[in-house]
Amino acid sequence: MVKRAPTEVSDRVRRLLRLSDELESVSDEAAAILKATRRLRKGGQNFSAQSCQTLLGVHETVFEFAQTVSCLIKSPRPRFDLAALQANSHDIGGCIHDARGKQLSRVGSDDPDSPVRVLTELDILNAYERIRSCYINMAETLAGCK
């Protein structure tokens, strides 16, 4: 650039770059979830009914949160309650933490393949935690906090 950009323009560019970086991170995590699922199935295993229910519950919760933030990204001048979104994000983090604890408690000596399956499930839950984190970062960026 030949000229200096006004502060307002450079701030907007920084926010857009941060949003695009966070969206790229979300796509990387989605790919990690798919890769973990494929790796488990290639090993001849499947999720148990209980694990499937837990993972789908976490998915739905994170997906609803992602939809809320995505609507804000699409809006030209979003107005929202950041504190409410942060509280919701915190609750989702607690839900994921509880799901992790349940999955770890399912490792047992009666099922020799359970450690591999549970570790895969934990990898998926960790990916959902990172996705949640990306979306709260996007909301904070839109609010001007980051």
CB atoms within 10 A of CB 138: 26
Distance from C-alpha of 60 to C-alpha of 133, rounded to nearest angstrom: 15
pLDDT band at 84 (very low <50, low <70, confident <90, very high): very high
Full-model pTM: 0.89
* Per-residue confidence (pLDDT) for residue 59, from 0 to 100: 97
Chain segment 9-45, per-residue pLDDT in tens: 778 888 899 999 999 999 999 999 999 999 999 988 8
Distance from C-alpha of 67 to C-alpha of 25, rounded to nearest angstrom: 16
Distance of alpha carbon 75 from its chain centroid, rounded? 21
